[in-house]
Chain A
Amino acid sequence: MAANPSLAASALPLDAEAVRQDFPILSSMVNGHPLVYLDSAASSQRPRAVLEAIEDYETHSHANVHRGVHALSQAATQAFEGARERVRRFINARSMREIIFVRGTTEGINLVAQAYARPRFGPGDEILISALEHHANIVPWQMVCEAVGCTLKVAPINRRGELEVDEFMRLLGPRTRLVALAHVSNALGTVLPVKRLIDAAHGSGAVVLVDGAQAVPHSSVDVRALGADFYTFSGHKLYGPTGIGVLYGREELLAAMPPWQGGGDMILTVSFEKSTYNELPWKFEAGTPNIAGAVGLAAAMDYIESLGIEAIAAHEQRLLELATAELARLPDIELIGTAAHKAAVLSFTMKGVHPHDLGTILDAEGVAVRTGHHCAMPVMTFFGVPATARASFGCYNSERDVASLVAALRKAREVFG
């Protein structure tokens, strides 16, 4: 693989302009302007190292995994299981048996809902979530509640977009069987005090699932230090490919759960009378998996570690502070979500300009932001807005991108008068 030109500059602080060179797509022109990509919370871009790892695998090592004795099948199995070990180290799980490859965070949550919650819960049982959750951490639990008659409880947030921890503690009770929380809110960027919440949930006997989709790209996550029972995230928000994600689960919990999809690879023996299931983690990986996706995800983790996750986090926090200060100087901008502890996400509205119009005008200036409800309609309802514009930052963004955002917002003000 080609040497990574940004490696030399990996010492603190992060050299965002050098990092940017690692991402081929970021040299695109959009509507006559150099691309300013501020939508990493929806999906981040991929560095050359990830693209090359995928191409290298597809060119030299592809076959089906866990099946053949031939050379390529062994190479593919090695690449796939090597990626699993890479993930284990990245989140400091105890064992590779605790790392399940899934399509993404959504599938990880649905797996736990269907294979952990549904067979165990019934009327009188409660699932506790927060008012900050993405639809993917609401709807799967509603489906379980509908199927088995348990109840969904929602811990409220305050006007800054922070979880009301006292209310959360009050809602946590002997009936609470499972707590499902975002580590970082996708719509507002709020970082939840998950360690404290997990400890409290364990104190009252509940298991905890953490939706880490927005946390893993911005901070180092140690699932054992957190004490999470389940932790799930997506590859494509972590500079890796789409269609691959991870569900971490504590081994004793996973071992006691039935499989949720049946098929090849998840069995040991099959007869028409009875089949026996494979061991962890393959019990939960029916069918041919996304091998190239896993390889790409492992390469993304290598890339992140080459920059240093702490360096990325510090860089993004500087951008967040700068962008927050710059937006505060624009008279018509209202920030939605002003938590004390935030990831590099800015949700905002502009007076008299609908977020959808704002998105179009920014796009005409080459600035890509997300506009809409961010799959968090209850959050929008709470703040009384139909939608917001959201700028989110990654390792490749720079002060220059913040300046471009501000200039594009001024342009929007000009158009709308």
Chain B
Amino acid sequence: MDLKELYRDVILDHNKKPRNFGRLEAADGHAEGHNPLCGDRLSLSVRMNGERIEDIRFEGKGCAISTASASLMTEAVKGKDRQAVRELFDRVHALLTQAQESPDASLGKLAALSGVREFPARVKCASLCWHTLNAALAQQAAPVSTE
């Protein structure tokens, strides 16, 4: 078990200085995510331009994996349309849970999360933001939960 594989520099950097942190004043979608096992809480707001995510912010308290994952996600999905976000989620999910022969080049910086796969207890930390984004895009009223 190599800690450096999990806590890569990109992860530690995004944990310390999360990008797109805060709250959007004029949001079209908003959702809360909660992982009751570890107490992680995430609040996500999105502003749409048609089918496209024009802007996105998140705030909350969480572990390094959940904070970095949310930060990386906001960078990756800004400017993408719903369909592209769905496809990206599928690829991230595969990255977090399935052994892969070679890294998915299309993931860019998100590939830094590949170390999570070796730590099954931490997969939910990395995927919380994505489930919350789905909820925000679907305009779900109820908070999503990892449980």
Contact = CB atoms under 8 A, between A and B. Distances in A.
Given A360-B6, A415-B7, A417-B12, A31 B64 contact: no
A307 B14 CA distance: 51
A30 to B, nearest CB: 9
Interface in A70-88: none
A116 B83 CA distance: 57
A364 B1 contact: yes
A386 B67 CA distance: 14
Majority DSSP secondary structure for residues of A touching B: mixed
Contact of B63 (A31, A354, A364, A373): A354
A144 B29 CA distance: 39
Contact of B38 (A356, A364, A415): A356
A415 B39 contact: no
A38 interface: no
A380 interface: yes
Contact of B64 (A354, A371, A380): A354
Interface string A363-398: 010000001110000001000001100000000000
Contacts of B122: 356, 360
A371 to B, nearest CB: 7
A361 interface: yes
Contacts of B65: 356-357
A351 to B, nearest CB: 12
B38 A416 contact: no
Contacts of A31: 1
A357 B64 contact: yes
A196 B12 CA distance: 50
Nearest to B11: A357
Given A354-B63, A356-B125, A416-B64, A386 B40 contact: yes
Contacts of A415: 3, 7, 12
A416 B7 contact: yes
Majority DSSP secondary structure for residues of B touching A: mixed
A364 B118 CA distance: 12
Q: Which of B3, B12, B40, B41 has the most CB of A within 10 A?
A: B3
Contact of B39 (A357, A387, A416, A417): A387
Contacts of A354: 38, 62-64
A372 B6 CA distance: 20
Which of under 10, 10 to 19, 20 to 34, or 35 or more describes the interface residues of A? 20 to 34
Nearest to B9: A417
A32 B1 CA distance: 9
Interface string B59-87: 00111110000000000000000000000
B39 A373 contact: yes
A364 B1 CA distance: 7
B7 A386 contact: no
Interface in A4-34: 31-32
Contacts of A353: 64
A387 B38 contact: yes
A116 B64 CA distance: 46
Interface in B95-141: 119, 121-122, 125
Contacts of A357: 7, 63-65
Contacts of B12: 415-417
A84 to B, nearest CB: 37
B142 interface: no
B39 A360 contact: no
Nearest to A365: B3
A355 B65 CA distance: 12
Q: Which of A354, A364, A371, A416 has the most CB of B within 10 A?
A: A354
A150 to B, nearest CB: 28
B121 A360 contact: yes
A361 B37 contact: no
Nearest to A363: B1
A349 B78 CA distance: 34
Given A357-B65, A415-B3, 20 more contacts: A352-B16, A353-B64, A354-B38, A355-B63, A356-B40, A356-B65, A356-B122, A356-B125, A357-B7, A357-B63, A360-B3, A360-B119, A360-B121, A360-B122, A364-B1, A371-B38, A373-B39, A380-B39, A386-B41, A386-B61
Closest 6 CB pairs of A and B: A386-B39, A354-B63, A356-B63, A387-B39, A356-B38, A31-B1
15 contacts: A353-B64, A354-B62, A355-B38, A356-B122, A357-B64, A357-B65, A360-B119, A361-B3, A361-B7, A371-B38, A386-B38, A386-B40, A387-B38, A387-B39, A417-B12
